[in-house]
A and B are shown apart, each in its own frame.
Chain A
Amino acid sequence: MPTRRKILGGLAAALTCSPTWADVGTPAYIAAAREPDGTFALYGIGAEGADRFRIALPGRGHAAAAHPGRPEAVAFARRPGLFALAIDCQTGQVTARLQAPAGRHFYGHGCFSSDGSILYTTENAFESGAGRIGLWSTDEGYRRIGERASGGIGPHDVVRLPGTETLAVANGGIRTHPASGREKLNIETMRPSLAYLDEDGTIADLCEPGPEIHRNSIRHLSVRADGLVACAMQWQGDPFDAPPLLALHKRGSSLRLVGARGPLQTLLRAYAGSVAFSGGGDRVGFTAPRGGRAQVYSVEDGRLLQEVRRPDICGIAPHRNGFLATDGTGGVSAVGAVGLHTLTRANRAWDNHLISIEQK
């Protein structure tokens, strides 16, 4: 049922003609892809997997962030990328080009403040190796307005806890330098963390996996409405001896690993791609593209509820009561109670992440 606020918001939009996501066919998701000819694009995807819009990208994307109010997305280059593009999803025009400041590169993720006025980006201050969160003013053509410490090395993903301005940052712990490309420079000593940053940049909370799993790089995040954070990890040790690749965390408590260290863990190939809570929020799912699988666990008791197989499956987001997943063969699949069902398939390779558009 439309709320008063939504009606008013709709009226306001109609009166001022300021476009909303409805003006671009109400996509529910955005995702980057590689086309068969080797070029790259950003797509808007409808709730049931159909294309809503397509915008060409100048290079390989990674993740994107959807503005909470207007139909505007920021597409991030894959690390160590130096550019991010703010795109008007109605016209397909690039409205702003974000250039990483000197001595910084992007990791490929970002998120907006609740009112959409600030974009936060994960960055590497690569001479010192310190992780940074960049701040950009969206109403001023994405002008760089500041940065803060991310609380660790290699901040890869960042999400905002709903209803707050607090950020949760996945500090992957792995130091890289553009001079040596994607080479990992500190595996022996890496210390990944999940950091919470208050609005003023204070590191309010920092959670680290225990020393015996210090090689479990916290890489991707998803957050539930109540602030519960899910972490997808990538194990940098012996791939045949990987700990669980999924963890849940609530501020103030310790990291809760989900799944068991054991023989079947090997099938995930030590690598989680993306993570999401289910539509209802009672389950958490992650993809393991190297293992060609996705696993779904109960949030309440950490039980494995479901495992589905699909080659190169990687993007995952909430969908109805379950999940929607994208893969490198162009499939968009629903993962529900009865398993995986591919809704649409196009001749393109979906890139790592499927981003939900949350409309105000």
Chain B
Amino acid sequence: MRLALLILLLALPARAEPLVDAAIAEHIMPGTEKLSVEADALAGAAMEDCSPESTKLRAAYHKAFDAWVAVSHLHFGPAADEDRAFALAFWPDPRGTTAKTLARLLATEDGTVETDAAFARQSVAVRGFYALERMLYDPPAGEAAYACRLTQAIARGIARTTASMAREWPAHAALMRAPGAENPVYLGMGEVRRALYTALDTGLEFTAATRLGRPLGSLDNPRPKRAEAWRSGRSLRQVVLSLSASRALASTLQAGDKVDAAFARALSRAETLDDPIFAGVSDPVGRLRVEALQQSVLAIRHALATELAPRLGVTAGFNSLDGD
């Protein structure tokens, strides 16, 4: 059924929509391919040496995580199906569900780590990069041999999830290229453009409000330990990578010079911040600099709303922004 649909869609004459084609060909497909390749290498490294101190494993973790951040804003299609994006990246986690669930698996030596199919049914909280970060940089107490199998199960799970995404993107891209009344997802090209714009804008919103906003907390109550992936020293790196990837997507959509300049300003602030895990949010000067970075990310969103949204014919979510 799905195959028949795919063949049908591939057979349809592709209507000229160069922006969408460019976003798919230059951004979505290479990004998801790269993620799958790096995740496969990560699983390989974990199988070879699962010790948390393994230099090779840690390097593979960073490379795969980098590749994930570069596509993490593409939270639709195969990434949203089966909640895959969520399974790869369950964060923020204010209840500490990842740590608690990992601790429980370790304490009971839960057997689901033995088979990939069983582990795939575990909570999303223990199946992605943030769970792996825990296992490598702050492992809960447990028996080493079991911890090893758990680390390997998480890494293999990441590889499987990203492989499924890479496998399914071509079919979803075909849907994006041929919207219409018979298309089960996109009824018109406007919906495709909207999906891309929403991905871009929501990714930036996440960076401003969550990646930067959560550690900032409030003036009275800064929360540096809420920074993303601080255990492996990645907090600022996540912001830089995510901004760079969003900039690339904006460029395929021909967002224009003003948008690109806004990206350049934010990236320059991020690259000169010199505070890899936002420890400075507790200090008045350091805090100001993180706030300035946050403002510059919000400025990109503003530039997108005024420059790109009208050109794509996208209006802001009517109900989602309503607040009633």
Q: Is B218 an interface residue (CB 8 A)?
A: no
| Beta-carbon contact of B324 and A62 below 8 Å | yes
Residues of A within 8 A of B187 (CB): 331, 342, 345
Q: Is B312 an interface residue (CB 8 A)?
A: no
For chain B, residues 95 to 123, give those with C-beta under 8 angstroms from any C-beta of chain A: 95, 97, 123
Interface size on B, residues (CB 8 A): 27
Binds A, one of B54-62, B159-167, B191-199, B242-250: B191-199
Binds B, one of A128-136, A160-168, A262-270: A262-270
Residues of B within 8 A of A312 (CB): 317-320
| Beta-carbon contact of B86 and A263 below 8 Å | yes
| Beta-carbon contact of B322 and A352 below 8 Å | yes
- Minimum CB–CB distance for B87 against chain A, Å: 9
Q: Is A289 an interface residue (CB 8 A)?
A: yes
A-B contact pairs, 28 of them (CB 8 A): A62-B324, A108-B324, A156-B324, A240-B93, A241-B95, A263-B90, A264-B86, A264-B124, A273-B322, A289-B319, A289-B320, A289-B322, A290-B317, A290-B320, A292-B320, A311-B191, A311-B317, A312-B319, A313-B319, A314-B319, A328-B319, A329-B190, A329-B194, A345-B187, A345-B188, A349-B319, A351-B318, A352-B324
Residues of A within 8 A of B92 (CB): 240
Q: Is A256 an interface residue (CB 8 A)?
A: no
Residues of B within 8 A of A309 (CB): 80
Q: Is B315 an interface residue (CB 8 A)?
A: yes
| Beta-carbon contact of B319 and A79 below 8 Å | no
| Beta-carbon contact of A351 and B319 below 8 Å | yes
Q: A240-B92, A311-B195 known; A289 and B83 CB under 8 Å? A: no
Question: Please, what's the 1-or-0 string for B299-324, where 1 marks a CB less than 8 Å from any CB in chain A?
Answer: 00000000000000001011110111
Q: 9 nearest interchain CB pairs?
A: A328-B318, A314-B319, A289-B319, A349-B318, A289-B320, A240-B92, A241-B94, A290-B320, A312-B317
- Minimum CB–CB distance for B162 against chain A, Å: 19
- Minimum CB–CB distance for A341 against chain B, Å: 8
Residues of A within 8 A of B97 (CB): 262-263
Please, how many angstroms separate the alpha-carbon atoms of A311 and B125 in the complex?
A: 25
Please, how many angstroms separate the alpha-carbon atoms of A292 and B80 in the complex?
A: 11
Residues of B within 8 A of A273 (CB): 319, 322
B80, B198, B317: residue with the most chain A Cβ atoms closer than 10 Å: B317
Residues of A within 8 A of B194 (CB): 311, 329
Name the residue on B nearest A328 (C-beta).
Answer: B318
B86, B123, B124, B319: residue with the most chain A Cβ atoms closer than 10 Å: B319
Q: Is A34 an interface residue (CB 8 A)?
A: yes
| Beta-carbon contact of A311 and B324 below 8 Å | no
Residues of A within 8 A of B320 (CB): 269, 271, 289-290, 292, 312, 314, 328
- Minimum CB–CB distance for B76 against chain A, Å: 8
Q: Is A327 an interface residue (CB 8 A)?
A: yes
Residues of B within 8 A of A262 (CB): 97, 123
A binding-site residues for B, Cβ under 8 Å: 34, 62, 78-79, 108, 156, 182, 219, 238, 240-241, 262-264, 266-267, 269, 271, 273, 289-290, 292, 309, 311-314, 327-329, 331, 342, 345, 349-352
Please, how many angstroms separate the alpha-carbon atoms of A273 and B322 in the complex?
A: 9
Residues of A within 8 A of B80 (CB): 309
Name the residue on A nearest B91 (C-beta).
Answer: A240
Residues of B within 8 A of A219 (CB): 324
Residues of B within 8 A of A313 (CB): 319
Please, how many angstroms separate the alpha-carbon atoms of A266 and B93 in the complex?
A: 10
- Minimum CB–CB distance for A296 against chain B, Å: 17
Residues of B within 8 A of A241 (CB): 94-95
- Minimum CB–CB distance for A49 against chain B, Å: 13
Residues of A within 8 A of B317 (CB): 289-290, 311-312, 328
Please, how many angstroms separate the alpha-carbon atoms of A78 and B319 in the complex?
A: 12
Residues of A within 8 A of B198 (CB): 311
- Minimum CB–CB distance for A294 against chain B, Å: 12
- Minimum CB–CB distance for B129 against chain A, Å: 14
| Beta-carbon contact of A329 and B191 below 8 Å | yes
For chain B, residues 21 to 63, give those with C-beta under 8 angstroms from any C-beta of chain A: none
Name the residue on B nearest A347 (C-beta).
Answer: B190
- Minimum CB–CB distance for B309 against chain A, Å: 14
| Beta-carbon contact of A79 and B324 below 8 Å | yes
Name the residue on B nearest A107 (C-beta).
Answer: B324
Name the residue on B nearest A314 (C-beta).
Answer: B319
Please, how many angstroms separate the alpha-carbon atoms of A156 and B322 in the complex?
A: 14
Extra inter-chain contacts (11) besides given A289-B319, A292-B320, CB under 8 Å:
A240-B93, A263-B86, A264-B83, A269-B320, A312-B317, A328-B318, A328-B319, A328-B320, A329-B190, A350-B319, A352-B324
Name the residue on A nearest B126 (C-beta).
Answer: A263
Please, how many angstroms separate the alpha-carbon atoms of A342 and B179 in the complex?
A: 13
| Beta-carbon contact of A327 and B94 below 8 Å | no
A62, A266, A328: residue with the most chain B Cβ atoms closer than 10 Å: A328
For chain B, residues 137 to 162, give those with C-beta under 8 angstroms from any C-beta of chain A: none
- Minimum CB–CB distance for B120 against chain A, Å: 15
